[in-house]
């Protein structure tokens, strides 16, 4: 990780989250108050991301516009870019996401990329579901259900 790195923990309705930024771009969102690489200090971009996260969780924001820089493989980044295109309040299956990036047989790999998403919620991996139901979620099915129901209520 090159550049200036900082992280700070913020309160949310579901507990603390730690936001990390490198060179004023969000690189991680982690549940809890977690020490990460860099200086423990807020910055303009972590404050903006925290504000937008609060607005989203209150049902007042549908899109995030803070600069992000998720670290991962080229495949993971391709999947994450596609996730950002899933409209608020809608879902796609792992197979649909795989097909949309031109890799129709890669549904399982899409699931792996979702699980590795370093900036959940802002990169909406919760909008990807299994063909036969919810599927998994790195932060638990209760959180996934909460986020999907929040979006459904705010969309209506």
Active site residue 125: yes
Distance, CA of 34 to CA of 50 (rounded, Å): 15
**Contact criterion met (CB below 8 Å) for 153 and 63:** no
Q: Which of 68, 82, 125, 129 is catalytic?
A: 125
Distance of CA 30 to the CA centre of its chain: 10
Q: How far apart are CA 59 and CA 81, in angstroms?
A: 23
Put residue 12 in one of left, alpha, beta given phi > 0 → left and psi -120 to 50 → alpha: beta
Active-site amino acid positions: 125
């Amino acid at each position: 990780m090159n550049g200036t790195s900082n992280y700070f923990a913020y309160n949310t309705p579901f507990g603390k989250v730690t936001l990390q930024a490198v060179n004023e771009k969000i690189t991680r969102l982690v549940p809890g108050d977690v020490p990460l690489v860099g200086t423990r200090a807020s910055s303009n971009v972590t404050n903006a991301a925290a504000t937008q996260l609060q607005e989203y969780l209150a049902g007042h924001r549908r899109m995030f516009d803070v600069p992000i820089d998720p670290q991962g493989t080229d495949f993971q980044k391709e999947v994450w870019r596609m996730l950002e295109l899933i409209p608020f309040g809608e879902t796609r299956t792992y197979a649909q996401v795989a097909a949309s990036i031109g890799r129709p047989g890669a549904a399982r790999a899409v699931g792996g990329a979702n699980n590795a998403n370093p900036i959940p919620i802002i990169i909406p991996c919760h909008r990807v579901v299994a063909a036969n139901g919810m599927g998994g979620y790195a932060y638990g099915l209760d959180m996934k259900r909460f986020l999907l129901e929040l979006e459904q209520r705010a969309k209506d």
